Chain A
């Protein structure tokens, strides 16, 4: 345990931060944004009121956004009457057309008959211009108003009726559609590509127009026995051109969603910081030079394997050390292998068949035996003892020791999966629900977030438990005491016959760098 790895957790937090960031951007930005705005038509506002007897009063405001005078044509849907432009009664040739000179804005109002039809299960308001754009909310705005350019514009709209409880409505021809059904109106906003036309069909409750005609007055209307049939048939005939606006409701507003995601993210940050701080604080309790309670440190504090001690202590304190060397010395100390000194530093290491008793020793000796066979006898001289495979032995031994430490509840994952994986999943799901399923980032995070969390958990690694921390402190104290013995510093591998168990742990605690160097992997 040398240091707490923070980078994976930071990366995970940055990835998850994209969700609240996007939510705040969505909450803070205008409701629709569109490129290539049409010069000469800054926006259109459409509204209509449904009367109880099925008439419609329609108002369309074309905001030109400039002072240019235009000769504009007006095309009316069938059944339009009381035509007014800018508040003045206006002739309507053939009942369907008008001409007007307009500047700044043009307000077209009329009443319409025949577009509201009552059925047994509701009232249909028909502005379906799929087949004939004259029957839409308005015909191609760019085409008839005397606008020479090409571009996009915004359309705001509202349909009013006495009762809109459970009303459904579908809009065709609008991008970035936003809708709501509050305060007696179905309201919508969207981008009108090419400033063309937009269609609508609404399915209102019977109470919206209880006295409306039972037969559509529109010559090309889709007919049916029920409102449901007309609704379905209209949407089917439009072949995807309509967006069912009533299905796009989201349970929370954009600010609430951003707040929720931010709160979740901050909680996650707090939890991760807490875990990392705890892990770092444990490691920072370095005691190589701290006052020693001498009574407690004269002997090994427990019977932990040297490799496990290496995991707990890491590189804390002075002196080179080697878990591999300590494991070999432990084997020699109990006579499982033999280390015979050639001189004070050089030695002959003999491994008899079947010399090991645990997995730590097996990891080390399997590399030294010919072809790794337990039945073989090996006689080696050193230092150096290890060839190219030394580094892999060090890694393998560390993994085995770490697993043993986990089993002994000395270590745990710094970031636990049962918190991080569900948290990242929940954040994605909340963002998904809050966006009504329209956020690609939310989809991606829901799918990838838990995987990123798992990778972060794995890369962040482990930290000490309370039990592990106590063990570490005791072993550090023992290591400090061993370092006070100056002779241990220079003892080589052959010294195991003389020094026994203290040399084993001194090798892993940095108190016997010479022995660690002569038996270690380098």
Chain B
């Protein structure tokens, strides 16, 4: 009698265990297709990733200030090249509607860097030499990476697409690129404050939108 009872319990356990299983087949794995890469948009401001940005109601408040002016970058770099003809590497370039800031690495002495400020009034200020113990090439980039046309197209395109938003302080700095590689980073500010931070490749393609959680 006792064997019958325990046998029934055992059988029921086996059935329960048997039911509580799942299977998977390797054939399904063979059906997986290769993911594709994002296409290059026709213009930076038409980047598909920009669709992630959700514009909010600002109750009639407009942009808090003027957009950064990318045309300044070309002028600033031209003035800088005239002053430092053998300039190769720079870091942390950023600009607003009046000024361009960047740091340059001394062409022959990589441990020396200088801060540079260029004003719309065409004044160029080059700061004192700053010595760093270990030069880190990963924190700097060739000046040729700064594609003035691309950043101009991006900022101008964004200004057209979002007229009530200020494009604030575009910045090209390795340390602020979220491990995305060297990327343009800029804030979009509306009447209620910072709307989002966007990241773009050197060619202006928007790669990420950080709109907070």
Contacts and interface: CB of A to CB of B under 8 A. Distances in A.
Interface stretch (B18-26, B82-90, B104-112): B18-26
Contacts of A188: 29
B20 A37 contact: yes
A179 to B, nearest CB: 9
Given A31-B25, A94-B210, A49 B34 contact: yes
Contact of B52 (A79, A91, A153): A91
B37 A49 contact: yes
Given A33-B21, A81-B180, A89-B51, A157 B208 contact: no
A184 B38 CA distance: 21
B207 A81 contact: yes
Given A89-B48, A91-B211, A99-B213, A35 B20 contact: yes
A217 interface: yes
Nearest to B211: A91
Interface in B175-213: 178-181, 196, 199, 207-213
A32 interface: yes
Nearest to A188: B29
Contact of A113 (B25, B33, B180): B180
A246 interface: no
Contact of B208 (A37, A81, A215): A81
A188 B23 CA distance: 15
B22 A33 contact: yes
Interface string A77-116: 0111111000011111111110100000000010101100
A188 B213 CA distance: 34
Nearest to A113: B181
B153 interface: no
Interface stretch (A51-59, A140-148, A408-416): A51-59
A47 interface: yes
A93 B26 contact: no
Given A35-B20, A156-B24, A58 B208 contact: no
Contact of B24 (A30, A36, A114): A30
A95 B34 contact: no
A232 B34 CA distance: 28
B181 A114 contact: yes
B138 interface: yes
A217 B179 contact: yes
Contacts of B15: none
A83 B20 contact: no
A381 B34 CA distance: 98
Nearest to B27: A31
B59 interface: no
A33 B48 CA distance: 41
B53 A154 contact: no
B37 A55 contact: yes
A79 B24 contact: no
B207 A82 contact: yes
A83 B198 CA distance: 13
Given A89-B49, A94-B178, A83 B32 contact: no
B158 to A, nearest CB: 15
A263 B181 CA distance: 59
B181 A79 contact: yes
Given A89-B48, A97-B213, A30 B25 contact: yes
A187 interface: yes
A291 to B, nearest CB: 60
Nearest to B17: A35
Given A95-B179, A217-B179, A37 B22 contact: yes
A345 to B, nearest CB: 58
A114 B138 CA distance: 13
17 contacts: A34-B24, A43-B24, A59-B35, A82-B208, A83-B208, A88-B52, A89-B52, A89-B209, A92-B52, A93-B212, A95-B180, A95-B199, A95-B210, A152-B22, A157-B32, A180-B26, A217-B179
